[in-house]
């Protein structure tokens, strides 16, 4: 009995200290990134001649959001770019909306696939048939790029020959309900800080699939995008880095995105992300067979620790509920906030304050989400842990064939 109590004591401290330490680490490394690589970035360092760029946009039933995307792409301040919309057998009015923009934008093109093949295969088809430029940019069908975002994505390629990809800075555009406000805080204070921190360490876990630029020859060298994963953006990041190319984060390349507005869509999205994480652990575990990939070990092991934390948190909380109702001495992790919960909330507030400082010039209204930060750990940590545990059987043991088949999330017409 004493041994069991000691194990629970140790695991309880792990559940508390792991997210607390990550929050502090992200904030410190994020500040270092801002100080060294972000605060004094000058447009004068941009190249005199911009390379031609092809923008690929895979679409599947995107009629609610594609018009806003088309409009933003027609306003980019970039001298030479082509846009290729890849319709993956949509059953709504996506094609009709895109065709409306083709006549007024001669650099817009449409590829219509007759059979749904998934995002990865759709991108590979376009990559093989429609891309002749040295830089390929992939954005989601609901992504709104700011006029200068494309330049910020492309500029690093002009001076860094070993650069394989540059990922943009996703910010939530709709913040109407509580869930959207919480996710706006997440993308700024979690995702943005994580990418800044990982760039300081040297390796990025994943690019943002909503807006990333790739060196075209690198994409072709690694065989394009994989359909054997639920998240092709995670896999392509690792493939690029395993071929000894770098992946950078450009916070100035702002990409406004839509986030799930209902808990049902939020759950589906996070389950897909978690599933992609399990697929990462399966498909890239062989990095430990050769020391030449040792620079990827910390990022891989950090994800393993996060997965372990998810199981400990969920099982410990479940065990606490069981022992609370059926025994006189509850054991496990109480979900009732205590002093450690207050410390985590304080760390999150500190983390969000850092994010506000870094992102205020990209998102001046971000401060309005600050009120929701103390509540955010419930969503980021608790929901994240639940989705990791829920998807573990399928992620670890399920078939990888056609894992990349997609169903577009529910979109909302901007302005409604």
Give the CATH number for residue 227: 3.90.550.10
Tokens of 71: 């409009």
416 lies in some domain: no
pLDDT of residue 415: 45
Same domain, 231 and 322: no
288 lies in some domain: yes
333 lies in some domain: yes
Same domain, 183 and 271: yes
Domain tally, the chain: 2
pLDDT in tens, 316-344: 888 878 877 777 776 666 665 565 667 77
Same domain, 24 and 160: no
415 lies in some domain: no
User: Which residues in the chain show pLDDT less than 50?
Assistant: 415-416
Same domain, 216 and 343: no
Same domain, 21 and 84: no
Structural domain boundaries enclosing 308: 1-37+178-201+260-409
Nearest one of 286, 275, 307, 266 to 404, comparing CA atoms? 275
Tell me if 170 sits within 8 A of 187, measured CB to CB.
Answer: yes
pLDDT of residue 191: 84
Same domain, 311 and 280: yes
Q: Which of 210, 229, 259 is the last residue of a domain?
A: 259
Which residues fall within 8 angstroms of residue 14, CB to CB, at 6 or more apart?
Answer: 309, 312
Q: Which of 259, 285, 303 is the last residue of a domain?
A: 259
Tell me if 139 sits within 8 A of 153, measured CB to CB.
Answer: no
Same domain, 184 and 83: no
64 lies in some domain: yes
Nearest one of 351, 411, 412 to 381, comparing CA atoms? 351
Q: Please, what is the Cα angle at 174 between 387 and 406, to 5 degrees? A: 45
Same domain, 403 and 350: yes
Same domain, 341 and 393: yes
58 lies in some domain: yes
Nearest one of 158, 155, 126, 129 to 139, comparing CA atoms? 126
Q: Which of 210, 241, 259 is the last residue of a domain?
A: 259
Tokens of 335: 């979900």
Same domain, 268 and 300: yes
Same domain, 209 and 193: no
Q: How far apart are CA 353 and CA 5, in angstroms?
A: 37
Q: Which residue has the tokens 């409604």?
A: 416
Same domain, 255 and 270: no
pLDDT of residue 44: 61
387 lies in some domain: yes
Tokens of 218: 């690198």
pLDDT of residue 416: 41
373 lies in some domain: yes
Maximal CA-CA distance, the chain: 75
Which residues fall within 8 angstroms of residue 116, CB to CB, at 6 or more apart?
Answer: 60, 88, 89, 405
């Amino acid at each position: 009995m004493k041994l069991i109590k000691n194990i629970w004591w140790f695991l309880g401290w792990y559940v508390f200290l792991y997210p607390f330490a990550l929050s502090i680490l992200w904030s410190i490394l994020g500040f270092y990134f801002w100080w060294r690589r972000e605060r004094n970035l000058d447009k004068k360092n941009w190249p005199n001649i911009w390379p031609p760029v092809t923008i690929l946009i895979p679409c599947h039933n995107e009629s609610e959001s594609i018009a806003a995307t088309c409009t933003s792409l027609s306003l980019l301040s970039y001298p030479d770019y082509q846009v290729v919309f890849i319709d993956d057998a949509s059953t709504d009015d996506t094609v009709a909306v895109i065709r409306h923009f083709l006549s007024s934008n001669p650099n817009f093109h449409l590829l219509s696939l007759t059979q749904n093949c998934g995002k990865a295969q759709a991108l590979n088809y376009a990559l093989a048939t429609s891309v002749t430029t040295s830089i390929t940019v992939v954005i989601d069908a609901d992504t709104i790029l700011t006029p200068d975002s494309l330049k910020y994505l492309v500029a690093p390629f002009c001076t860094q020959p070993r650069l394989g990809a540059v990922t943009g800075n996703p910010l939530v555009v709709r913040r109407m309900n509580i869930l959207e406000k919480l996710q706006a805080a997440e993308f700024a204070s979690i995702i943005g800080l994580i990418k800044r921190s990982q760039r300081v360490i040297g390796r990025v876990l994943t690019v943002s699939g909503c807006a990333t630029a790739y060196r075209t020859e690198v994409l072709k060298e690694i065989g394009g995008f994989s359909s054997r994963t639920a998240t092709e953006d995670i896999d392509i990041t690792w493939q690029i880095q395993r071929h000894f190319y770098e992946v950078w984060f450009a916070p100035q390349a702002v990409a406004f995105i839509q986030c799930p507005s209902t808990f049902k869509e939020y759950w589906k999205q996070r389950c897909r992300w978690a599933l992609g994480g399990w697929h990462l652990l399966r498909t890239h575990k062989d990095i430990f067979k050769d020391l030449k990939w040792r620079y990827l070990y910390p990022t891989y092991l950090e994800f393993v620790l996060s997965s372990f934390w998810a199981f400990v948190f969920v099982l410990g909380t479940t065990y606490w509920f069981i022992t609370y109702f059926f025994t006189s001495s509850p054991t496990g992790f109480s979900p009732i906030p205590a002093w450690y919960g207050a410390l985590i909330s304080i760390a999150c507030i500190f983390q969000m304050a850092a994010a506000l400082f870094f992102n205020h010039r990209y998102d001046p209204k971000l401060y309005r989400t600050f009120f929701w930060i103390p509540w955010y750990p419930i969503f980021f940590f608790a929901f994240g842990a639940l989705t990791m545990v829920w998807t573990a059987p399928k992620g670890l043991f399920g078939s990888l064939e056609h894992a990349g088949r997609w169903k577009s999330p529910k979109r909302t017409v901007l302005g409604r």
